[in-house]
Amino acid sequence: MKSNTEKFGKAPHQPSLWTRADALKVHADDPTTTQPLVSADFPVLSNEVFIWDTMPLRDLDGNITSVDGWSVIFTLTADRHPSDPQYIDENGNYDITRDWNDRHGRAKMYYWFSRTGKDWKLGGRVMAEGVSPTAREWAGTPILLNEQGDVDLYYTAVTPGATIVKVRGRVVTTEHGVSMVGFEKVKPLFEADGKMYQTEAQNPFWGFRDPWPFRDPNDGKLYMLFEGNVAGERGSHKVGKAEIGDVPPGYEDVGNSRFQTACVGIAVARDEDGDDWEMLPPLLTAVGVNDQTERPHFVFQDGKYYLFTISHTFTYADGVTGPDGVYGFVADSLFGPYVPLNGSGLVLGNPSSQPFQTYSHCVMPNGLVTSFIDSVPTDESGTQIRIGGTEAPTVEIKIKGQQTFVVAEYDYGYIPPMLDVTLE
């Protein structure tokens, strides 16, 4: 096997750092980087299932793609249990919050289709029961490969372990709808190595998931982004000068921030088909800043690489904070250096009055941002909430140089295609 150095002819890149100083610039409720309030009377996609992470069908260049005029999305999905005794509380009421909070353990990949880019119809499960090797089918990316309708679904097979995998199938359309056929053989691609990316043995709270394959617009090669943590035993990471950045007097204390070690990982394919991958050092690290940089993805615009990733308030380190939402970084070349958008990294956060209203934002190349509704307060004090498990209103952002601006809001789950492929 060739090493990185032999292959690229030089030492691999240095990861860019999201520093504590950058994160000190994060401010909730700036209207240009805050998602408009989601009303508590939102419609739900389905009373049978919860959905959360939404993965629009796209090509390897990032274009959201419809097939024969049908838009297609994949979602992480779990049954709702309104009459399961397990989720009935002592007053005989359905405890939807507990049901919702338990969903990750039974996440399955489903698909939906639509003629309008909204009003999604449930297609069904992508893989039959027993096909996926683990209990959880976690986030990834469906890629339309060609005009025959071949689809590579990259996703994360979780519990036991966490493995980036892919499964090939085909999308078939009729006048009446869309079906997914095949998706019968899951191929493991790679797991965390413990040298660049933290393993479960190094930290039981490790993250290694959310593959996002793409073709680099400049070198034409096939790469993949994913979520990771920086390798090393939990608690062994150093939050030094570089990770702290240029902070004002009084902000040098890093507390216990060594436990937060998120990174955006990258791998390069050794073959054309993306069956054989080599992990490279992370593109971006957030040691001492945040423990999760989830669902990383790119928008390629104006010759630049806009790297987006979702993160939470609860995963921030001691002494820094920010809203749940999507954060972004920009570079002139794939391997960086990346600088935080808007100075801080924050691109679209939840308003502080509704801190959990949406999550799992995906910024599409047309500037539209899709996300799901988590929970919305139904009273002034915020103690009563309505659980979502459905698509949020789509928001549009404008990306200009190193800045972004919220400019519009559209219907719930509006994910219009950027190009249509006529299947042969």
The site for ligand FRU (CB under 6 A) is made up of 52-53, 76, 104, 107, 138-139, 156, 209-210, 227, 294-295, 359-360
* Minimum CB–partner distance for residue 388 and ligand FRU (Å): 13
Active-site position among 152, 294, 324, 391 = 294
* Minimum CB–partner distance for residue 72 and ligand FRU (Å): 19
What is the tally of helices (H) and strands (E) in the chain?
4, 25
Is 273 marked active-site? no
* DSSP string computed for 155-172: EEEESSSEEEEEEEEEEE
Q: How far apart are CA 307 and CA 263, in angstroms?
A: 12
- Give the nearer residue to ligand FRU in terms of CB position, either 213 or 417: 213
- Give the nearer residue to ligand FRU in terms of CB position, either 135 or 181: 135
The two structure tokens encoding residue 381: 């004090």
Sheet arrangement for strand 277-287? 16-17, 277-287, 261-269, 222-229, 209-215
Which residue intervals of 224-274 are DSSP H helices? Answer: 241-244
3-class secondary-structure state, position 5: helix
Q: How far apart are CA 158 and CA 186, in angstroms?
A: 13
Is 391 marked active-site? no
β-pairing, 65-67 vs 49-56, is unpaired
- Give the nearer residue to ligand FRU in terms of CB position, either 413 or 417: 413
The two structure tokens encoding residue 238: 């150093």
- Give the nearer residue to ligand FRU in terms of CB position, either 32 or 134: 134
Q: How far apart are CA 193 and CA 280, in angstroms?
A: 11
Omega before 160 within 30 of 0, i.e. cis: yes
3-class secondary-structure state, position 116: coil
Element at 20 (helix H, strand E):
helix 20-24
- Give the nearer residue to ligand FRU in terms of CB position, either 33 or 77: 77
- Give the nearer residue to ligand FRU in terms of CB position, either 157 or 421: 157
* Minimum CB–partner distance for residue 54 and ligand FRU (Å): 10
* Minimum CB–partner distance for residue 5 and ligand FRU (Å): 31
Report CA-CA distances (Å) from 306 to 99, 137, 314, 330, 336: 36, 27, 25, 5, 10
- Give the nearer residue to ligand FRU in terms of CB position, either 202 or 315: 315
CB–CB of 213/154 below 8 Å?
yes
* Minimum CB–partner distance for residue 266 and ligand FRU (Å): 16
Q: If 0-12 CB within 10 Å is exposed, 13-18 middle and 19+ buried, where does residue 266 land?
A: buried
- Give the nearer residue to ligand FRU in terms of CB position, either 52 or 183: 52
* Minimum CB–partner distance for residue 155 and ligand FRU (Å): 8
* Minimum CB–partner distance for residue 241 and ligand FRU (Å): 30
Which residues touch 406 (CB under 8 Å, ≥6 apart)?
Answer: 31, 32, 33, 34, 35, 36, 348, 395, 396, 397
* Minimum CB–partner distance for residue 343 and ligand FRU (Å): 25
* DSSP designation for 10: S
Q: If 0-12 CB within 10 Å is exposed, 13-18 middle and 19+ buried, where does residue 216 land?
A: middle
Which residues touch 23 (CB under 8 Å, ≥6 apart)?
Answer: 289, 290, 316, 320, 321, 322, 344, 345
Active-site residue list? 53, 294
